[in-house]
Amino acid sequence: MLNVAQYHVAYGQSEVLHGLDFTVAPGEIIAIMGRNGMGKTTLMKSLMGIVPTSNGAAAVDGVDITTMKSYERVSKGIAYVPQGRMIFPTMTVQENIETGLTISGRSKVPGDIYDLFPVLLDMKGRRGGNLSGGQQQQLAIARALATNPKVLLLDEPTEGIQPSIIREMGRVLKRIRDERGLSIVVSEQVLSFALDVADRVLVLENGRLVHDEPRASVDEEKVSAFLSV
Amino acid sequence: MFADYSWTELGSIFAMQGFAGLILFSVFVLMALGLAIIFGQMGVINMAHGEFMILGAYVTYLCSNIVETYIPSLFGIYFFFAMALAFVAAGALGALVEWSLIRHLYKRPLDTLLATWGLSLILQQAYRSIFGAREVGVSLPNWLLGSVPLTDIIEIPINGIFVMVLTLVIAIGVYFILFRSRMGMQTRAVVQNRVMAGAVGINTEKVDRHTFALGCGIAGIAGSAFTMIGSTGPTAGQLYIVDTFLIVVFGGAASLLGTIASSFAISQAQSTMEFFLSGSMAKVLTLLTVVGILMLRPEGLFSLKIRR
């Protein structure tokens, strides 16, 4: 569903990602692990068209998106839940989700989104900025799902969220995958969450993928060695 | 200063100055609405806003002359065409300016101040070259002339009432565009987080252009209304731009209601004080009050209470 080949990303002269290759199958959840500064967020941003790709290619469902602008990528099926949520604080919960409907041109929020996140239905008239961190995270996921994506990118979704909500989020992500059959790429530092949701675990170290293994055979100690400072 | 007047005279003075203030209020609101969109929403300091208004005024002037000369039968209703044309002309110029100038400066807000100030000088000279340095006035159709006598001493000019009704209609229209329409929702999303708006599928460049054009178009309508109460000259926009920024900041940058409330307060204060004191003294007092209130409430009169 998502094909990334020889993917290089640089800020000016300093290259951050040195040629990544990976594919995500339809309905697969992959976790990209790595410590701070290893390039996880850069990878997400460049897949979303926020940071330009310097070399290589990315394709969604066979369509090359490497040089597209963000909103064009959304129409090709990529959705993004950024680090720090980045919901629109002065807009209501419902309006926040509706921004995701721009591409499809629909005007009503589909009911299945509120089914996934019933708390958002209760709060649909509240301003996004007044929600708690966990609720904002759900809102950011709901907004991304409103674009009806084929590939969902989540950048450190567990950051700053309490453990019970993290477990709940793991369940929701798997439910989304099962119901919609979409592929999910989640970047993560928390190993337990990654092992909980992912079918495959990749480790990003200094801008290179140094480890790629299915969940079933993952050696926890080896992966956590990459994560420890 | 009140001692020279009897009570009835004072009452009438307040009523008539209050009404003059209402007309000033209307022009302020129309100008400030455009600026509230461009400055309050987009964060672009548009020093050329007054010149967009004057463009609308000149378009109205041209319309009035052309209609009067060639199709005098339509003279009674030319003003409505003129307003629509003023909106289109100012909006089109706005879109052009956004495309050629402003869009390169979204990440450098202070540079927009310099760039648009330069633009305002260019436009002023362009008006001077095209229309001449002398101020021009439009001729109004008969039904807009005259006044309605309320009592023996209080009279209310009809064009003032017209300007106020116009302002009301436009203010409601802007509210619906910004808060009840799809375009408004996209505008607010882009304004709050341009990068993220793109990442949920909004074409941010298109939205920016439309928003800027809308703000300029409303300034054009303000110019159209302005012709009824003042004469149009190349530099007339300059007189209003500072007041307009003051209103938008005082009202709370992102709030339409605040913009309207602060235009009301400032225009009424000025108009009433100008009668009893000199014009500059009135301005000094208004500014001091505004500065005082802004020290207590830096976000303006009306600001949204949310976590940031």
pLDDT tops 90 at residue B8: no
Residues 232-271 of B with CB under 8 A from A: 254
Q: Which of A204, A118, A116 is nearest to A152 (CA)?
A: A116
ipTM over the 0.85 cut-off: yes
At a CB cut-off of 8 Å and minimum separation 6, what does A101 contact? A107, A109, A146, A147
Task: Give the domain ranges of chain A.
Answer: 2-227
Instruction: Round to whole Å and give the CA distance between B187 and B205.
Output: 11
**DSSP letter (8 states) at residue B37:** I
pLDDT for the residue numbered B307: 59
Task: Return the minimum-mean-pLDDT range out of A153-157, B38-42, B69-73.
Answer: B38-42
pLDDT for the residue numbered B267: 86
pLDDT for the residue numbered B248: 86
pLDDT tops 80 at residue B40: no
pLDDT for the residue numbered B1: 64
Tokens linked to A66: 């490497």
Tokens linked to A172: 């929701």
Q: Which of A154, A189, A171, A30 is nearest to A84 (CA)?
A: A154
pLDDT for the residue numbered A140: 95
| Interface touch B196/A82, C-beta < 8 Å | yes
Select the residue from B178, B179, B196 to test the A interface by mutation, using most A Cβ atoms within 10 A. Answer: B196
pLDDT digits (tens, 9 = 90+) for B79-103: 888 999 999 999 999 999 999 999 9
Would you place residue B71 in the very low, low, confident or very high pLDDT band (cuts 50, 70, 90)? confident
Beta-bridge partner residues of A138: none
Q: Average pLDDT over chain A, rounded to whole?
A: 91
Q: Which of A85, A81, A126 is nearest to B306 (CA)?
A: A126
Average pLDDT over residues B270-279: 80
Flag whether residue B186 sits within 8 Å of chain A, measured between CB atoms. yes
pLDDT digits (tens, 9 = 90+) for A19-39: 999 999 999 999 999 988 889
Instruction: Round to whole Å and give the CA distance between B88 and B94.
Output: 10
pLDDT tops 70 at residue B308: no
| Interface touch B307/A130, C-beta < 8 Å | yes
Contact (CB, 8 A) for A69 and A50:
no
Task: Return the minimum-mean-pLDDT range out of B20-34, B138-152, B181-195.
Answer: B138-152
pLDDT tops 90 at residue B305: no
Q: Which of B25, B26, B35, B22 is nearest to B255 (CA)?
A: B35
**End-to-end Cα distance, chain B:** 49
| Interface touch B196/A100, C-beta < 8 Å | no
pLDDT for the residue numbered A131: 92
Q: Are strands A78-81 and A151-155 parallel, antiparallel or unpaired?
A: parallel
**Residues A154-185: b if buried by 16+ CB within 10 A, e if exposed:** bbbbbeebeeebbeebbebbbebbeebebbbb
pLDDT for the residue numbered A184: 95
Helix (H) or strand (E) holding B226: helix B204-229
pLDDT for the residue numbered A5: 93
Contact (CB, 8 A) for B163 and B23:
yes
DSSP string, B145-214: SSEEESSSS-EEEHHHHHHHHHHHHHHHHHHHHHHHSHHHHHHHHHHH-HHHHHHTT--HHHHHHHHHHH
Domain enclosing residue B42, as ranges: 25-237
pLDDT digits (tens, 9 = 90+) for B130-179: 998 888 888 888 888 888 887 777 778 888 888 889 899 999 998 898 88
| Residues in B touching A99 (Cβ below 8 Å) | 185-186, 189, 197, 200-202
Right CATH for A2-227 from 1.10.10.10, 3.30.930.10, 3.40.50.300, 2.40.50.180? 3.40.50.300
Flag whether residue B181 sits within 8 Å of chain A, measured between CB atoms. no
pLDDT digits (tens, 9 = 90+) for A107-130: 888 888 999 999 999 998 999 999
| Interface touch B200/A74, C-beta < 8 Å | yes
pLDDT by 10-residue block (mean), chain A, 229 residues:
93 91 93 90 94 93 92 94 91 93 86 91 92 92 94 92 88 92 92 91 91 87 81
Would you place residue B44 in the very low, low, confident or very high pLDDT band (cuts 50, 70, 90)? confident
pLDDT for the residue numbered B149: 80
Average pLDDT over residues B183-195: 89
The 3-class SS string of B43-64 reads CCCCCCHHHHHHHHHHHHHHHH
The 3-class SS string of A32-94 reads EECCCCCCHHHHHHHHCCCCCEEEEEEEECCEECCCCCHHHHHHCCEEEECCCCCCCCCCEHH
B16: in domain: no
Provide, rounded to the nearest whole percent, the portion of chain B with pLDDT above 90. Answer: 29
pLDDT digits (tens, 9 = 90+) for B275-285: 788 778 888 88
Q: Looking at per-residue confidence, does A126 or B253 come out higher?
A: A126
pLDDT for the residue numbered B243: 85
pLDDT tops 80 at residue B41: no
Flag whether residue B107 sits within 8 Å of chain A, measured between CB atoms. no
Beta-bridge partner residues of A92: A127
The total number of structural domains that make up chain B: 1
pLDDT for the residue numbered B266: 87
